[in-house]
Structure 1
Amino acid sequence: MTLASDLTDLTARDWETGPEGVVRFAVVGLGGFARNAALPALVEADYCEPTVVVSGSAEKADRIAAEFDADHGLTYEAYADGAARDAYDAVYVVTPNALHLPHVETACEFGKGILCEKPLEATPDRAEAVVSACETAGVPLMTAYRMQTDPVVRRLRELVRSGGIGDPIQLHGGFSIDVLGGSRGPDQWRLDRDLAGGGALMDVGVYPLNTARFLLDGDPTAVAGTTSGDGPFADVDESVAFQLRFPEDVTASFTAGFSGDGERFLTIRGSEGTVELRNAFSVGGERRVRVRRDDGEIDLTGPGTDEVREEFDYFADAVLSGWDIGPDGQDGLTDVRAMQGVYESAASDEWVEL
């Protein structure tokens, strides 16, 4: 097997079946990510369209509905009461973490499929309640792990799982953002532990954590971590460093942060080679891939695929065609439990078995 044959077609949708019809979405929560990334992706998607938008403000809901040509703008109360329930087939929940559960329960009550932002909820108990509600209602649930639908990441998974770098040994990675940058000040839900469940780990640390699990097709058996934060970050972790043990003696070391220089990378070292993924977690970013093996080295730049659009179309294809969703609720629950273990380790200064 050569490097050229290992990494081919970095735009291919290996999951696509070409279903007929579309999935009509109600977008619950109209923060910056919903307005700037999710709704534009839904408009451009092949198998989806936004027909309902939901906000705490009636004025905002109406304004955003008009901007994206959605049929209905609703308040949270109207959504919970069942307004316009015949106008959508599925719900995309993109509110603060600790508010996911009630909106999921509403969707379950109306028999709607659910795409829920990560982390699935703010605590393991609430994440478990999300999964249980969907299982009881018999509705599909997908955790919004956009990296799992990114074509470059999916090609890397094929490379790693096929033994393209031998047996995985170690993973390293990091994802940091300036959460106070731009117009965002300290008065935001990401810095409120009750709403977020944590800080940098829950918001951006989950990316290398889940992507590692996806590439390895395995779950960590133990975790350890340290956190720090003060000033505006007194309630949550401003930065976190955490380690994971996987089966087969594979280990991982990751960092995440809400300040300082931004980083977005993931490296996998194997017994016969190494893969480096740069600009790994940016929305729509051009992924830079370097693979080093005994038979050579290759550098590739994957096109800036809109993996948010890929995520919506992946969900819709699964719903319309009836195949099982990959990043399901259990996937999201596993990460919430692992991150809770990291926080427990930071408090006890000991490894936590999962």
Structure 2
Amino acid sequence: MNLENAFANFTRRDWERESVDGTVRLAIVGVGGFARQRALPGIADGEYCETTVLVTGSPERTTTAAEEFDVSHVLDYEAFLEGDHADAYDAVYVATPNAFHGQYAVAAAEHGKHVICEKPLETTLERARAVVDACEDAGVTLMTAYRLQTEPSVRRTRELVHSDVVGEVVQVHGSFSNPLLEYADADTWRLDADLAGGGAMVDLGVYPLNTTRFILGCDSEGVYATTHSSDGAFADVDEHVAFQLEFPTGATASCTASLDAHAASRLQLVGTDGRISIASPFGGVVPHEMVVESGDMRMEYTGPPVDEVREEFDYFGYCVLTGTEPEPDGIDGLTDLRVIEATYESARTSRQIDLA
């Protein structure tokens, strides 16, 4: 790839290879803050999905959202599990607390519906396998909601890496931190180990983990990790995590995540012939600020952000409508859960865990 042309048509959808008609009708299961503030607007702004059903524990408090986004049906969880209004949607977006992902994803598959499920697929690898198996048995599409895989900065970085613009990647540095208690109470489900399945690693560390795997195009062979938690709100989950991944290419990824630090994120890949840096890749809105160095050349790109949530749902809808297998499929979700469980094992035992 010619470095001068690397940023041409930056926001192109390289996954969109044919024109398709129609939309995928979605039932949103779990109408929390992210669903209201990001998912519903992103779906409404997109091309290939539309929201037709909301599933919530408080139907009376969801009326405003239903009216704002012109959603015809609002169901409680029991009605959804029983299959009420199943003819009103084609697919399900599961956005509940992590421990309930499997229950609703499996129910959707049993109703013959496609599934896009928030990460992680479940709180354990075993429970996540049940989701993958149910979707395979039903013959429906399953996508793990790794929206960074549809984000232009990340996709352009993958192209640059696979075009050897920076040579062989030797080091990856990724970090993501967020002050959780500045916008959530101490009793949030994210700090409940049973509901979340973990803390900083599950909620934030999975972003540099999955994005690194996606860009390099291979899975890690080993992980070493440490965690730290203070008393009080973070007593039951990892408040901070640091983990190092080893890849079969010889690359090493050093990553950190924190639920109790200033909001910040970064991703840098250092190769034998250059480096790539993405500014703030994991914070929800990527500013499209990149620096690429290749040999003696250095280029910077700054462009308007793209709503990666909209891109994610359009990608899912496109895959369903065209019968295309999504890249962030169920196996992708299982792979990350295997690494997450190994990360916690490494932190408990103070030793590296082999993943080969």
**Fold conserved (TM > 0.5)?**
yes
Identical aligned pairs, as a percentage? Answer: 51
Question: Which stretch shows the higher mean deviation, 96-105 or 282-291?
Answer: 282-291
Match of 1:304 in 2: 305
Deviation of 1:130 (Å)? 1.1
Q: Is the 8 A contact 1:167 1:270 kept in 2?
A: yes
- State the shift of 1:285 in Å: 2.6
Residues 216-248 of structure 1, C-alpha deviations (whole Å, 9 max, x = no match): 000001111000112210010110000001002
| Structure 2: runs of 5+ lacking an equivalent | none
List structure 1 segments (4+ residues) > 3 angstroms apart after TM superposition.
none
User: In structure 2, how many angstroms separate the alpha carbons of the residues matched to 1:119 and 1:70?
Assistant: 27
Q: CA deviation at 1:62?
A: 3.2
> AA paired with 2:68?
E
Separation in 2 of the partners of 1:203 and 1:167? 30
Aligned residue runs from structure 1 range 159-174, under 5 A: 159-174=160-175
Partner residue in 2 for 1:209: 209
- Counterpart residue type for residue 217 of structure 2: D
Kindly indicate whether the alpha-carbon contact (under 8 Å) linking 2:54 and 2:71 is maintained by their aligned counterparts in 1: yes
Give how far 1:49 is off: 0.6
Alignment of 1:105-124 (within 5 A): 105-124=106-125
Is the 2:228–2:241 contact (alpha carbons within 8 Å) kept by the matching residues of 1?
yes
Partner of 1:102: 103
Tell me the distance in 1 between the aligned counterparts of 2:166 and 2:87. Answer: 50
Alignment size in residue pairs: 353
The match for 1:266 is 267
Distance in structure 2 (CA, Å) of the matches to 1:111 and 1:243: 40
The 1-side partners of 2:27 and 2:200 are apart by 28
Any conservation in 2 of the 1:152–1:302 contact (CA below 8 Å)? no
* C-alpha distance in 1 between matches for 2:154 and 2:9: 12
CA deviation after TM superposition for structure 1 residue 313, in Å: 0.4
Amino acid across the alignment from 1:134: C
**Range that drifts further, 313-322 or 277-286:** 277-286
Residue matched to 1:219: 219
Shift of 1:271: 0.7
Q: What is the SS of the residue equivalent to 2:71? A: coil
The residue aligned with 2:133 is 132
Matches within 5 A, 1:137-148: 137-148=138-149
Equivalent AA in structure 2 for residue 271 of structure 1: T
Under a length normalisation based on structure 2, what TM-score does the superposition of the two structures give? 0.97
Contact 1:205 1:256 in 2 (8 A): yes
Q: Distance in 2 between matches of 1:189 and 1:249?
A: 38
Q: How is 1:1-354 mapped onto 2 (pairs within 5 angstroms)?
A: 1-16=1-16, 17-182=18-183, 184-230=184-230, 231-354=232-355
Amino acid at match of 2:137: T
**Structure 1 spans left out of the alignment, 5+ residues:** none
CA RMSD of aligned residues (A): 1.0
TM-score normalised per structure 1: 0.98
The answer to whether the Cα contact below 8 Å between 1:53 and 1:65 also exists between their aligned partners in 2 is yes
For residues 120-171 of structure 1, the C-alpha deviation after alignment (integer angstroms, 9 at most, x for no partner) is 1111111111111111111100000000001121111000011111011110
Note the C-alpha offset of 1:76. Answer: 0.4
